[in-house]
Chains A and B, each alone.
Chain A
């Protein structure tokens, strides 16, 4: 082997390292500080670059790509404004545990610190919104840094990382080392195998339970398809009821007989009551978020709690648990299922009969009910029809943020993991459209629908142009209620229905907007026409913006008002105007 064999320019190293880490698609936007890398992209065709219209779009597209495939999403941005535009998706990925590698250009090393043109302190700005980040100052460290970036992004609790590469490093020549040849720079090695004694203890507790509930979360999806499979097996074996967070939807099928629906602020009555009254709670890859717990000192007061999580900082953070099990969901469930089986002869499911009777009573409250209407499309009805007309297809759903997001979570039945892409932790309006683009790039033949709100959709609408360019036939299904519905609902609940700046006076004509981009625009405002219009949307082989005109003032129920406990939910049939106005007291008003 000659000494010069692995000599490459920094830009070549970047492309080689991406290929060696299995990358097929990157989402990016060019600029002065990344031109050498773009030049390399131009001269190869193994990796496809998707040109977005705004770096935020690149990030969310990479997130959608990652969440729908289980792979690492990759974005590429220039220095300065390119990097600062990437901050929102980085924080979004951090909060939702999405593996993302962001490569950013930087001014040449000699100019760093001189307030050079388009210079910003990228590693400084992105330090708190990444798992880790690097500024590469030596071309011979570039390959190893990129390999390390991929490793860190996907190991343990997944998350975003940034590799900041000065322009002179992209031009400089150095040695390329493949991933197999580098030992990792850091000791970072999260524990994946759970402690067997703890798992045994957990199984014993579960076998003695009379009122158990499984509370699963995004960690099951993060762990991979096998974890969802094992979760289903565990539910089948134990006969336990199961609920999930927004992030975990699909890990257990919505059609499964033990399914209680989503829990939390907008979760079902049965899920929240089961959480409140249970004697044993099994939390699997979820993080006791404040949307879940409601008032902490009233959260599931009489239960013993088991918590499986790969991140030690998630354990005992908000809620103290009795049996913490540190490890990967898949590995831990494997042991749990095995141990349960080994002692299964002694435990039946009969002793859960009373518990299931209570659950049936809660279910009978029908907490997702809404008043049907023949003249205006109810938003819930729109989601139900969308679900019925797409459930037999290979469908992926993304969302924006607001009421439509919650209705999608409540009324769209997810049967598989990785089919539901939503911004849960950060709640980023503008996430859904670019995320749909990313999903469609990964799954070209699938039906990808962004369930959107009329306000959110305007935050990253520019990516319609990218969808057209890459012939990504994403469907933007807008529940158009003319309001920032979620904000309006809170103003009604908290601020005497003074609707300060939550009504959009000058709404664009979404049909014309679609046409301006070269997409197809559809509009529907009659319940009777809805099915036909949805079918038309599905049939179109191009991007579509569907302007679904829905009831303007519908509220999203059930709802646990801020500062209240699980058993103090506001149910749709009790939500009279007066009850809504008085639902939250002065103390709860301070909360978000």
Chain B
């Protein structure tokens, strides 16, 4: 008999959102200790934030520091909250919103690059075409036999997306992408 009620959107008094969502790239410097990635990911899932891309690797071995790069989407308020919530995590040293920083520096976006391994299998015309296109995209062949290629390609996300789309009809078997590595232009660090 309560069927006329709207499905429960949220349990809380959340005002209707008027801001639009944007995609931002965050750089997070953390102590490389057990569980740190789980803390960061848990924060995103627990608070309902989006992760579009995530990469992590130790970048300063001596100091045991890792750099996590996260691409996330949210309204400016949510993005501000994400940054503040990340900064609260004990092993987090610094959080920089690279997208905001890029704008401050007068650039449209930070430098963002991704690497992908793309396996394509085929013979005859397809094979020739795949190789020709790989060349145009500056992808290099890192493994091959008479039936397949594994290409390594780096570049902007859009370039990789495009490359993969083109390879599809030519016998695409599998793809592995690293997620985005990012930093800002210019002499300053994060």
| Complex CA–CA separation, A562 to B12 (angstroms) | 9
Q: Does A587 contact B (CB under 8 A)?
A: yes
A127-B38, A128-B42, A187-B93 known; A591 vs B11 contact (CB < 8 Å)? yes
Query: Other CB < 8 Å A-B pairs besides A128-B46, A186-B91, A316-B80, 16 of them?
Result: A124-B38, A127-B35, A127-B38, A135-B34, A188-B90, A294-B13, A295-B15, A312-B88, A313-B84, A316-B77, A317-B84, A586-B6, A589-B5, A590-B8, A590-B10, A591-B13
Q: Is the CB of A312 within 8 A of B84?
A: yes
Q: Is the CB of B91 within 8 A of A297?
A: no
Q: Considering only CB atoms, which chain B residue lies closest to A314 in the complex?
A: B84
| Complex CA–CA separation, A127 to B90 (angstroms) | 12
Q: Does B14 contact A (CB under 8 A)?
A: yes
| Complex CA–CA separation, A313 to B77 (angstroms) | 11
Q: Is the CB of B12 within 8 A of A290?
A: yes
Minimum distance in angstroms from A540 CB to a CB of chain B: 43
Q: Quick one: which of A289-329 are within 8 Å of B by CB?
A: 290, 293-297, 311-313, 315-317, 320
| Complex CA–CA separation, A280 to B11 (angstroms) | 29
Q: Is the CB of A131 within 8 A of B84?
A: no
Chain B residues, CB < 8 A from A320: 77
Q: Is the CB of A563 within 8 A of B13?
A: yes
Flag A126-156 by CB within 8 Å of B: 1 or 0 each.
Answer: 0110011101000000000000000010000
Q: Does A592 contact B (CB under 8 A)?
A: yes
Partner of A131, one of B46, B77, B80, B90: B90
Chain A residues, CB < 8 A from B77: 316, 320
Q: Does A123 contact B (CB under 8 A)?
A: yes
Q: Is the CB of B11 within 8 A of A592?
A: yes
Q: Does B124 contact A (CB under 8 A)?
A: no
Minimum distance in angstroms from B67 CB to a CB of chain A: 15
A127-B39, A296-B15, A591-B11 known; A313 vs B85 contact (CB < 8 Å)? yes
User: Interface extent on B, as a size class?
Assistant: 20 to 34
Chain B residues, CB < 8 A from A312: 84, 87-88
| Complex CA–CA separation, A176 to B6 (angstroms) | 60
Q: Does B48 contact A (CB under 8 A)?
A: no
Minimum distance in angstroms from A74 CB to a CB of chain B: 19
Q: Considering only CB atoms, which chain B residue lies closest to A188 in the complex?
A: B90
Q: Does B4 contact A (CB under 8 A)?
A: yes
Minimum distance in angstroms from B33 CB to a CB of chain A: 8
User: Interface extent on A, as a size class?
Assistant: 20 to 34
Chain B residues, CB < 8 A from A185: 31
Q: Quick one: which of B55-82 are within 8 Å of A by CB?
A: 77, 80-81
Q: Is the CB of B16 within 8 A of A297?
A: yes
| Complex CA–CA separation, A296 to B91 (angstroms) | 33
Q: Does B9 contact A (CB under 8 A)?
A: yes
Task: Kindly name the residue among B4, B87, B89, B90 whose own CB sees the greatest number of chain A CB atoms within 10 A.
Answer: B90
Q: Considering only CB atoms, which chain A residue lies closest to B35 in the complex?
A: A123
Sort A-B residue pairs by CB-CB distance and give the 10 closest, nearest first.
A313-B84, A296-B15, A132-B90, A297-B15, A312-B84, A592-B11, A590-B8, A188-B90, A290-B13, A313-B85
Q: Quick one: which of A423-457 are within 8 Å of B by CB?
A: none
Chain B residues, CB < 8 A from A127: 35, 38-39, 42
Q: Considering only CB atoms, which chain B residue lies closest to A590 in the complex?
A: B8
Q: Considering only CB atoms, which chain B residue lies closest to A312 in the complex?
A: B84
Chain A residues, CB < 8 A from B42: 127-128
Chain A residues, CB < 8 A from B35: 123, 127, 133, 135
Flag A551-592 by CB within 8 Å of B: 1 or 0 each.
Answer: 000000000001100000000000000000000001101111
Minimum distance in angstroms from A125 CB to a CB of chain B: 11
Flag B1-45 by CB within 8 Å of A: 1 or 0 each.
Answer: 010111011111111100000000000000100110011001000
Chain B residues, CB < 8 A from A186: 31, 90-91
Q: Considering only CB atoms, which chain B residue lies closest to A296 in the complex?
A: B15
Minimum distance in angstroms from A356 CB to a CB of chain B: 30
Q: Considering only CB atoms, which chain B residue lies closest to A297 in the complex?
A: B15
Minimum distance in angstroms from A120 CB to a CB of chain B: 15
Minimum distance in angstroms from B31 CB to a CB of chain A: 6
Minimum distance in angstroms from A463 CB to a CB of chain B: 30
| Complex CA–CA separation, A315 to B77 (angstroms) | 11
- 13 residue pairs A–B, Cβ–Cβ below 8 Å: A135-B35, A152-B90, A186-B90, A188-B90, A296-B13, A296-B15, A297-B15, A312-B87, A313-B81, A563-B13, A586-B6, A590-B5, A590-B8
Q: Considering only CB atoms, which chain A residue lies closest to B45 in the complex?
A: A128
Chain B residues, CB < 8 A from A315: 84
Chain B residues, CB < 8 A from A132: 89-91
Minimum distance in angstroms from A104 CB to a CB of chain B: 15
Minimum distance in angstroms from B43 CB to a CB of chain A: 8
A290-B12, A296-B15, A297-B15 known; A311 vs B6 contact (CB < 8 Å)? no
Q: Is the CB of A590 within 8 A of B11?
A: yes
Q: Quick one: which of A522-568 are within 8 Å of B by CB?
A: 562-563
Chain A residues, CB < 8 A from B80: 316
| Complex CA–CA separation, A587 to B85 (angstroms) | 30
Minimum distance in angstroms from B26 CB to a CB of chain A: 15
Chain B residues, CB < 8 A from A135: 34-35
| Complex CA–CA separation, A212 to B31 (angstroms) | 44
Minimum distance in angstroms from B68 CB to a CB of chain A: 16
| Complex CA–CA separation, A290 to B11 (angstroms) | 10
| Complex CA–CA separation, A403 to B5 (angstroms) | 27
Flag B129-144 by CB within 8 Å of A: 1 or 0 each.
Answer: 0000000000000000
Q: Is the CB of A296 within 8 A of B39?
A: no
| Complex CA–CA separation, A187 to B93 (angstroms) | 6
Partner of B6, one of A133, A316, A587: A587
Q: Is the CB of B84 within 8 A of A296?
A: no
Q: Is the CB of A295 within 8 A of B13?
A: yes
Chain A residues, CB < 8 A from B9: 590
| Complex CA–CA separation, A374 to B134 (angstroms) | 91
| Complex CA–CA separation, A386 to B9 (angstroms) | 42
Task: Kindly name the residue among A133, A296, A590 whose own CB sees the greatest number of chain B CB atoms within 10 A.
Answer: A590
Minimum distance in angstroms from B30 CB to a CB of chain A: 10
Chain B residues, CB < 8 A from A587: 6
Minimum distance in angstroms from A299 CB to a CB of chain B: 9
